[in-house]
Amino acid sequence: MISFVNIAARLILVCFAAAFASGKIFAADNQPVLAVPGKLLMEDDFARAEVKPKWKPGLGFWSIKDGALAVEENPADHHGAYAYAVPGFGYKDIVADFSFKLDGSKSCDLKMEDSNYKGSHAGHIIRASITPSQVVLGDSKYGSMEIGFYAKYNDPKATPEEKKALAAGIKDKSATFKNVLDVTQWHQARVEVLGDEVTLSIDGRLIGYLKSAGVDHPTKNLIGFTILGKTTLIDNVKVWDASPAPGWAAKRAEILGSIGLKP
């Protein structure tokens, strides 16, 4: 006769195996680098049938499938699929966690914006972009979305030489880091914003860092995703207000050195 203990053990093993197969088990030491989570500002586990009311889609195709958010760009839009968390909320420094799987998509961007700010296109402030081969952190406020730059760069009369010169002028407003993802698996991302610094970690490992003045924008009020190409799956989104991580200043040089940066 099989004992109750053996049955329980087998059930636990089966449940663990199922969770592992889903790809949603991550390292237990996935601790913040730059900032410590405080008050929870929003969360979503997508345990429902409809995307609304927690998200307001703009363009693209948005649905919930098997308890996860499924997003795909509509080629007819000539723009990435995007949506924002609703209701909006004010914030400055945050920690944002989410699980994701690039299921055919070119990129998954976490965007932070200020709908009242007129100095950048559509109020864009920060971009944390994940692709199958790299991550990009961007100060959109003073970089690619700064209103003057955006108008000049997207002017149909702008020559390739002029665009190249414009791009060179904002080179320090973004940072790119190589990172090859297993696109058949789920991964966990953490974006931390504190003052003028932003970090991006994937599966508990620091991947990218940027220090830029626009990151310190004081009145961000929108957060959402932009997806390019085919499907990205997203789950377990959480956003917290944040405060400085103890010892960050002392450990900063060592931590940034681990990704090849000099503070």
165 lies in some domain:
no
Has residue 188 got a pLDDT over 60? yes
15 lies in some domain:
no
Residue 109: CATH number of its domain: 2.60.120.560
Residues of the domain holding 125:
30-141+174-257
Q: Cis peptide leading into 53, omega within 30 of 0? A: yes
pLDDT at 8: 40
**Beta strand segments in the chain, E:** 35-44, 55-57, 61-65, 68-72, 81-85, 94-113, 124-130, 134-139, 174-178, 187-194, 197-202, 205-211, 222-244
203 lies in some domain:
yes
Over residues 51-59, the mean pLDDT reads: 97
Q: What domain count does the chain have?
A: 1
CB 123 within 8 A of CB 168: no
Helices (H), 158-245: 160-169
Q: Band of the pLDDT at 263, cuts 50, 70, 90?
A: low
Has residue 168 got a pLDDT over 50? yes
162 lies in some domain:
no
User: Which tens digits make up the pLDDT trace of 98-150?
Assistant: 999 999 999 999 999 999 999 999 999 999 999 999 999 999 999 999 999 99
148 lies in some domain:
no
Nearest in space to 204 (alpha carbons), one of 119, 126, 97: 97
Question: Distance (Å, rounded) from C-alpha 4 to C-alpha 107?
Answer: 48
Has residue 10 got a pLDDT over 70? no
10 lies in some domain:
no
21 lies in some domain:
no
pTM of the model: 0.88
Put residue 141 in one of left, alpha, beta given phi > 0 → left and psi -120 to 50 → alpha: alpha
Nearest in space to 227 (alpha carbons), one of 126, 101, 40, 123: 101
SS3 255: helix
User: Which tens digits make up the pLDDT trace of 195-241?
Assistant: 999 999 999 999 999 999 999 999 999 999 999 999 999 999 999 99
18 lies in some domain:
no
Q: Band of the pLDDT at 31, cuts 50, 70, 90?
A: confident
